[in-house]
Each structure stands twice: as structure tokens, then as C-alpha cells.
Structure 1
Amino acid sequence: MPSETGRLAGRIAVITGASRGIGAAVAKRFAAEGAQLILIARTVGGLEELDDAIRAEGGLQPVLVPHDLRDAEGLDRLGASLNERYGKLDILIGNAGILGPLTPVAHIPPAVWQEVMEVNVTANYRLIRSLDPLLRLSDAGRAVFVTSGKASSGLAYWGPYAVSKAALEALVRSYAAEVTKTNIRVNLLSPGAIRTGMRAAAFPGEDPESLRPPEALCDHFLELASPTCQRNGEVVAAE
């Protein structure tokens, strides 16, 4: 059961990519720690199942936001909506991402390249732009974005995904440097090999039972989202 004295009691948290995998696991843990959640994902059914699970455990009823992150104007409106309802934001978890094709760079259609960049990079920029004013109104605004070791691996066929994560890291580190004199702290989390649908798509021959479940990451997210966290501009490896 959630506790009124949980580490996130009274805190407002936005989580993207919340309907499954890492996002859903983090949402359940944050709810158990007392957070009020705003859950964003494209899959309505997945959000509703997560809502049921959180309320079954006694968590606060989350706000469900079915939304495609490529809808930039919708992300712009998000900040105004949250300001009207809550007057602040304490936590932003930028978890949503897509893999894109694992194929030679020269074979990638421009529209596919653009989609990966829009979801993995531009959407996070729009979230920062929309929600930074609300994070500044928190006594301890915290933002955590999910990256990958592929950002610096230089592996063949991983072009769009690797480039998008490298760009995300540059974006987040720049933002972190800009908020050093505020109450905001911003970091990146690199999960490593985790049992998710994206991992299964990238490595279809791998035994999923040999991998850590998404729940194994929750302590790392909780640490980086907690008001006591003073890390800033770091890439935290959850290996």
C-alpha cells in the first residue's frame, strides 16, 4: 500500500512511455511511494490496465494522457494544463522511445529517420520546453531521461537509434548545465539489458528470461527523482 510518508508523497510526476515495460514498472513504484502520476502513452488499453493495477494497490488515481509524442502542439499544451491543475511539477521521466530499423544508414527512408528523431529527441526537447517552468516552481524539480549504451557504441546498423540517443544525451547535459543554480536536477539513466519489447525486437534470438525485468531499474529512478538527489548532468549506468 502507498504510504503518506513515502519518498514521493505529495509529489507530481509525469512519465512518458508509461503503458508498458520500464515506464509501467516505474509508474507502479512511484505510485507505491505516494506520487500523483500523469501517465503518457499512445496505447489507451495499456494505460487503462496500468490505472487498474495502481488503484488496486491503493495508489492515487493517475491522470491518463493518451498521446502520440510526435504531436508537438499537444506537448506544448501539456504544461499549461498541468499548471492550471497543479501549479507545479516535481518529476519528469522521459522514458518513451522507439527502436527504428536496424539497417544500413544508406537504406533508411527519410520519413523513418525523422520519426525516430521526433520521438527520441524532439519530443523530449518539447517536454523540457513545456515543463521547465513548472519544474522551477517545485522545491526540488527532478528530470530523468532514458538513454542507451548504443549512443556511443558505434555499432553497424544501429544508426537512427544510436544517433537519437547521442543527441538526447547532448540535449539533457546542456539543460542540466543551464539549471545548476536552480532547484532542478537533470540526469540520464542507461538501463543496460532489460526484458522489454524493444529489446526483444532488437535481439529476437535472446532468451528474455536471462535478462533483468524492468522492475530492477526502479530503485535507480527513485534515487534520481527524489528531492534528496543532488546529481546533475550525469549518465547513470544501471548495469
Structure 2
Amino acid sequence: MTSTAPVAVISGASRGVGRALALRLAADGYDIAGTWNRNESAAQQVRSEIESIGRRATMYRNDVADGEATAGLVEAILADHGRVDTLVHNAGIASRGRFVADTTSAEIARVMGVHAMGAFHLCSALAPIIRLSDRGSVVLISSTATSYPGAGGAPYMMGKAALEALGTTFALEERTHGTRVNVIAPGLIVTEMGDRLAHALTGAENAAALDEKTPFGRVTRPEDIADLVSFLASDAARQITGQRIEIHGGCPELVH
């Protein structure tokens, strides 16, 4: 079925930043094709919220690290929606915080599989489809960790660095097809993962407990990321591609 509305594919759309992305792009007029991997009830709650504002939403269970599964996902999305205009690769996992000497190759493969290979699988499979759109846009969610590395995070930083390298190359390749590709690199965000990170590195109860330590009075919220993605996917950003934009409220080193 071909949609008359633009369609956004969002990986990791069930919670945190992904949920905020799905709701914001739906409010912008997009139908949403979101992926989830662990929490079906949360994914279906997001679907219901999107439908309550009059937009269409489909939620698919998918392991983005699995290239064959992602190829099947794209086929399902096309069958359900008929088009894709925007891709946001947001799915992510944390590494275990071990030093390189104590990190296994399986851990590297696990983390890079989601961040780097997941982005690659989605970009590769969706590129020919997004080229057909007159508003094609791809946004890859990275992290300020690639600029402000900390000990004990090699798998995560390797995954995000590879994701950014993909974004730079993909932007050069797709510009002749009219598709814009940009990278967003957030700092600490108030999410479940952000809460765990803030507690582990600072002893704070959660990420929001660090609000008063930031120049603008609060740690970045998922809605801040969604606002930026909304802009990059809009006509107002027609001339913006190949960029890496940090968003951290003036405090990139908060947990580094």
C-alpha cells in the first residue's frame, strides 16, 4: 500500500530517544515505521500514541545487527507503506565498561553490530528507496563519546566512530541522488541508559539529578534530539548534508 504521507523509518523506536523521535516526526506529518527488539509493549504503546494524533504507525521486531533480517524488514515496510522518505538510525546498546585488556572480541562484535553494522544494513537497504523521495533524509545518532572518550568504553566508541565514518561517506555518495545525510552526536541524555551512565560515573541517582551542573540548567532530554532531527528532515535543512552536530547543552564533558 502506497502512503500519500511521507514515511520515516526509526530504529529503536520503542523507548527513550526513539519514542520521542517517533512522536515528533508523526506530529510533523510522517507515518512511522519503527523497530524494536526487546520491549513489545512499549513499542505498541508508541504505536497507539501515534495513531491517537491521526498518523499511521507500524512497529516491527528487528535485530538491526542482522543484515538478512533487516533486508526482510525493508520488504515488510515497503509492503505496508510503499515508500520511505526519512531514516533515523537510533538503535543503540551500551558496552560493559571494561578496559581493552579485559574486553572480548564477542563484546566488540555485539556493540559494533548494533551501532555500526546496524546503520550500514539500514542505509544500504534503504538507499535506493529513499532516492525516490523528493525530501530524502538520513540521520544517524552517534555520541559525543567519539570527541570526548573515556576509559572503559572502547566497544561503544568504536561503534559510534564507525557509524560516523559511514555517515560521512554515505553523505558524499547520496548527494547526487538528492538525499541528505547527517550525524547527531548527543552528550548525556535523560533516558534509562543515560540514568545508568550518570549513576555509574558520577554517583548521581539519575541523569536529571545533574541538571544544576549544566550551563543551561538541564541535561539534554529526548525531545531535544527529536527537535533537531525534525529540523534536519525538513525543507528548512535542504542545504545541510554531511554534517556532524553535537547537542549537549554546553556541557559535553559531563560524564567524561
Structure 2 length as normaliser, TM-score?
0.85
* Higher deviation after alignment, 93-102 or 62-71: 62-71
Matched, 1:208 2:207: yes
Q: Which runs of 4+ in 1 moved over 6 A?
A: none
Question: Which of 186, 195, 198 is the aligned partner of 1:191?
Answer: 186
Q: Give the Cα–Cα distance (whole angstroms) in 1 for the partners of residues 108 and 245 of structure 2.
A: 27
Matched, 1:33 2:28: yes
Matched, 1:14 2:3: no
Contact conserved, 2:190 with 2:221, CA < 8 A, in 1?
Answer: yes
SS in 2 for 1:203: helix
Contact conserved, 1:152 with 1:162, CA < 8 A, in 2?
Answer: no
Question: Which of 4, 11, 19 is the aligned partner of 1:24?
Answer: 19
Contact conserved, 1:34 with 1:59, CA < 8 A, in 2?
Answer: no
**CA drift at 1:182:** 1.7
* Higher deviation after alignment, 40-49 or 74-83: 74-83
Matched, 1:94 2:89: yes
Q: Give the Cα–Cα distance (whole angstroms) in 2 for the partners of residues 171 and 232 of structure 1.
A: 13
Query: Equivalent residue for 2:243?
Result: 234
Which residue identity does 2:49 align to in structure 1?
A
Matched, 1:218 2:237: no
Which residue identity does 1:234 align to in structure 2?
Q
- Identity level (%): 32
Identify if the C-alpha distance between structure 1 residues 29 and 154 changes in structure 2 by more than 3 Å, giving closer, same or farther.
Answer: closer
Question: Which structure 1 segments of 5+ residues have no match?
Answer: 1-8
- The aligned length equals 230
SS in 1 for 2:123: helix
SS in 2 for 1:180: helix
- Root-mean-square deviation (Å): 1.6
1:126-157 per-residue CA deviation (whole Å, 9 max, x = no partner) reads: 10111001110101210000011111323211
Q: Give the Cα–Cα distance (whole angstroms) in 1 for the partners of residues 54 and 156 of structure 2.
A: 34
Query: Equivalent residue for 2:156?
Result: 161
Query: Equivalent residue for 1:182?
Result: 177
Which residue identity does 1:59 align to in structure 2?
G
Question: Which of 42, 45, 57 is the aligned partner of 1:49?
Answer: 45
Contact conserved, 1:99 with 1:116, CA < 8 A, in 2?
Answer: yes
Q: Give the Cα–Cα distance (whole angstroms) in 1 for the partners of residues 77 and 35 of structure 2.
A: 13
Contact conserved, 1:77 with 1:130, CA < 8 A, in 2?
Answer: no
Contact conserved, 1:12 with 1:89, CA < 8 A, in 2?
Answer: yes
Question: Which of 138, 144, 159 is the aligned partner of 1:143?
Answer: 138
Contact conserved, 1:24 with 1:50, CA < 8 A, in 2?
Answer: yes
